[in-house]
Amino acid sequence: MRPLREIDGCFQGVIPGYLATVSAEGETNVTSISVVRLLGPTRVGLSCQFMNKSLNNLKTTGLAQVLLLCPVTLREFQLDLRYVGAISGGPVFERVDAQVSAAAAQSSMEDVFRLESVLECEVLDWRKTGTQEPQVADTGHAIDSLQLLDSVAQAIQSATDLEALLDATLHAVDEHLGLAHGFFLMAESDGQRFYNLASRGFDTPSFGAEIALGEGMYGTCAERRVAVRSGSLSRDRLMSQAVARASGQIERRLPLPGLEAAESSLAIPVTAKDICLGVLCFQSERPAAFTDEHELMLSIVARHLAAMMNLLDPSQRPALELSGRRGRLGGRALATRVKFFESDGSVFLDENYVIKGTAGRILWSVLRTYVGESREDFSNKEIRLDPSIGLPAIKDNLEARLIALRKRLDERAAGIRIDKTSRGRFRLEVDRELVLEARD
Amino acid sequence: MASPLADVAEWIEQGLPGALATADEHGQPELCRVWGARLLADQQTIEFVVLRSAAERTLRNLGRKARGSLNIVAPSTYRSFQFKGWVTPQETVDLDFCLHQLDRIDLALAKVGLPPNGGRITVAQCALVMGDSLPDPSWQPEYVALRLAVESTYDQAPKPGAGARLS
C-alpha cells in the first residue's frame, strides 16, 4: 500500500467525505462525515457525531469505506477500512474534538455538535477513483525541515524584548516556512481574554483586537491548549453569517486580522507548563493550506517562543535597554473628540472605534491626565496604581498592553502616539486638541 | 395518499451532491459519487447518474439489480436524506438532465468554497489523468443512469436523533 501521506490534503476536513458501512444482514448505510484524520501510517480516525446505524454496523461487521476529495486537486479517493475501536479520551480525541468544537463555535453550536468519540480504523487499501494516476516516485523534501526550524529558532533567540520577539517569530515563519499571514494573540493575565499583539501580512493589522477564551477556532485553541486547523473557512463563515443574521447582533469591537478570502487557518497554542501564554494564528487563501507537518513544525516554534517569552518577562529579569525617544508630532491645528464607554472600556476617536478593555482604560486615563494636568510623561507604576484601570496585582501584562496600545494608535494614525522614553516610563504625544467625553 | 417523497422532490432536484453505497458478496461496502438526481413520476423512484469510470465496482455489485443506499446532502445547509431500496442500472441516460444538474452542483459547491466548476473538475479527474484545468469543453465522460425504488427514507441532518426513519 502506498503511503497515506500522499493524499494528506484529504485529511484537512475541507470537504466532508462519505462513510459507508454494512450491517450483518448485508444492508448498507451511507452518511456524510466531517472529519477523517490521519492517525498513523495505516490508521485513520473518523469523527463520531450523531452516528447510530453506522456505529452499530462498524461494531458488528467492522468493514467500511470512506470517499474523500482532495480540496486542492479535486481528485477523489476511496479508503477501505476495518474498524479498530472508539477513542473517547486522550490526545487523539482532544485534537479531533478541538477541530470539531472550533467549527461549531463559529455558529455557537458547541453544545449540539459534540464529538462523541473518534473511530479508529485500519486502512486496508486505498486508491484514486476512476482512472489511475501514473505512479510518481516520492522525491522527498527539497529542504530539510530541521534546517528550516533551526533558522526560525535562531531568529527567535536573537530577540531582546517581547515586541521584537513576536515580530521576529512571524517574520521568520514567513521567510523560512512560507506562511506569510500570521498574528499573535496574547493572553490577558487572567487567561480569559486574548488580544492581538503582533501581526504580519494583513492589510489591517488590527492591533488590540480581542477574543474570549473558547471563542471561535483561536479561542478554542487557547482553551483546549491543542492546535486547531480549518481548511474550509468559507463553510464556517456560511454558518456563522447565518447565525449572525438570525440574531441581528452588531458587536462593538474590532475584528481580528483576516484575509478577505481566507480558506485555511491554523492556530497553535503557546504554552508554558499548563499556562496558555497566547496563540500563534496563521491564515491562507488556499484551501487545506496547512498540513500535519506545518502543525508539528509550528508547535516546536511555539515551544521556543514560550521559553523566550518567559525569559524576556520583565517580572523575572532586569529590563532591557530602551528605544530612543521620537520627536514631537506636528502642530495642533485639529481637534479630536474622544469618547470613552465605561461599561466596556472602549475608546472612540471622532466616532471611530480604537480599542477597548484594559488598553482602552489605560488610554482614557492618560488622555484625561494629559488634558487635565497638561502632563505628557507617565510611569508604568502610576498606571498600575490607577484604580480606574483595574490591573491585577500580580502578572498584569502592562508592558504587553502598552505595546498593543502603541501599535493600535500607530495603525489608526490617530494623531496620538505613545513612545517609550526610559525604563518603566512612556510619553504621550498628541498633535491636536482633544475633547473628552465619558459615557456609561 | 401523497408519497412521502413528494415533499423532498424539489429539494432533490435543485442539484446536490450525493453518494451511493453498495456491498460486494464479502460484505465490503463500496461508495460511488452521484451526479444529479430526480424523483420520477411514480413518486417512489429516484433516478440518478454515476460516472462509469468511477463506478466499476458499484456496477459489478449491482449486476442487474441489488440493494443500495443513497445519501444526498445540501452542502450549504447540511440538510441530508438517505434513501434505501433496490437499485437497477438503466440502459440509457438523459445526458441533458445530467449536464444541467452538474451545472447546479457546481454552483452549490462554489458556495462552500470549492473552485468554479468544482463538480466538473472532479468528474474529469475521475475519468482522465489531468492537471488542474478542465479538458476540452466538448469532452464528455460516460455516465450511467441508475434507479432506486425507495423503500425507506431517513433524515440525516447533523443533529441529535440524526438518522431517524421518515417513511
* Cβ–Cβ gap A112/B21 under 8 Å: no
Q: How far is B81 from chain A (nearest CA, A)?
A: 9
**pLDDT exceeds 60 at position A331:** no
Q: How far is A280 from chain B (nearest CA, A)?
A: 24
Is B6 in the A-facing interface, judged by CB distances under 8 Å?
no
Distance CA A152, CA A158 (A): 10
Distance CA B31, CA A403 (A): 55
Q: For residue A116, what is the DSSP state?
A: -
Distance CA A426, CA A423 (A): 8
> How does residue B20 score in pLDDT terms, banded at 50, 70 and 90?
very high
Distance CA A247, CA A260 (A): 23
What pLDDT was estimated at residue B61? 97
Q: How far is A361 from chain B (nearest CA, A)?
A: 40
What pLDDT was estimated at residue A138? 43
Mean pLDDT score of chain A: 83
H or E element at residue A379: strand A377-379
- Residue range B99-118: mean pLDDT, rounded: 80
What pLDDT was estimated at residue A135? 54
pLDDT: is B9 or A183 the higher one? A183
- Residue range B66-89: mean pLDDT, rounded: 91
What pLDDT was estimated at residue A414? 74
| B 87-146: CB under 8 A from A | 111-115, 118, 121-122, 125-129, 132
Option in B76, B82, B129 nearest A30 (CB): B82
Distance CA B59, CA A223 (A): 48
Cell digits of residue A338: 474622544
* Cβ–Cβ gap A287/B163 under 8 Å: no
CA dihedral (B138, B142, B148, B154) positive or negative? negative
What Rg do the C-alpha atoms of chain A give, in angstroms?
25
Do B127 and B51 meet the contact criterion of CB atoms below 8 Å apart?
yes
* Cβ–Cβ gap A20/B111 under 8 Å: no
What pLDDT was estimated at residue A79? 97
Please name the residue of chain A whose CA is at the shortest distance from the CA of residue B28. A63
Is pTM, for the whole model, over 0.80? no
The least confident of A68-82, A220-234, B57-71 is A220-234
Cell digits of residue A305: 517562543
H or E element at residue A267: strand A264-272
Option in B67, B84, B163 nearest A52 (CB): B163
Burial A384-403 (b: 16+ CB within 10 A, else e): eebeebebeeeebbbbbbbb
pLDDT: is A59 or A240 the higher one? A59
What pLDDT was estimated at residue B76? 76
Do A217 and A230 meet the contact criterion of CB atoms below 8 Å apart?
yes
Residue A150's SS3 state is helix
pLDDT: is A19 or A336 the higher one? A19
Provide the 10 A C-beta neighbour count for residue A60.
14
Q: Which of A406, A179, A195, A149 is nearest to A296 (CA)?
A: A149
Distance CA B77, CA B111 (A): 11
Residue with cell 479535486: A74
- Residue range A236-261: mean pLDDT, rounded: 57
Is B80 in the A-facing interface, judged by CB distances under 8 Å?
yes
What pLDDT was estimated at residue A96? 86
Q: Which of A38, A43, A24 is nearest to A82 (CA)?
A: A43
- Residue range A41-70: mean pLDDT, rounded: 93
Distance CA A297, CA A316 (A): 28
Q: How far is A235 from chain B (nearest CA, A)?
A: 5
Q: What are the φ/ψ torsions at residue B101 (nearest 5 degrees)?
A: -65, -35
Option in B21, B127, B160 nearest A50 (CB): B160
Cell digits of residue B142: 460516460
Which residues does chain A have within 8 Å of residue B73's beta carbon, measured at their own beta carbons? 16, 32
**pLDDT exceeds 70 at position A136:** no
H or E element at residue B100: helix B95-110
**pLDDT exceeds 80 at position B126:** no
Q: What are the φ/ψ torsions at residue B11 (nearest 5 degrees)?
A: -60, -45
What pLDDT was estimated at residue B19? 96
Cell digits of residue A324: 530612543
Distance CA A375, CA A380 (A): 15
What pLDDT was estimated at residue A320? 33
**pLDDT exceeds 60 at position A315:** no
Is A53 in the B-facing interface, judged by CB distances under 8 Å?
yes
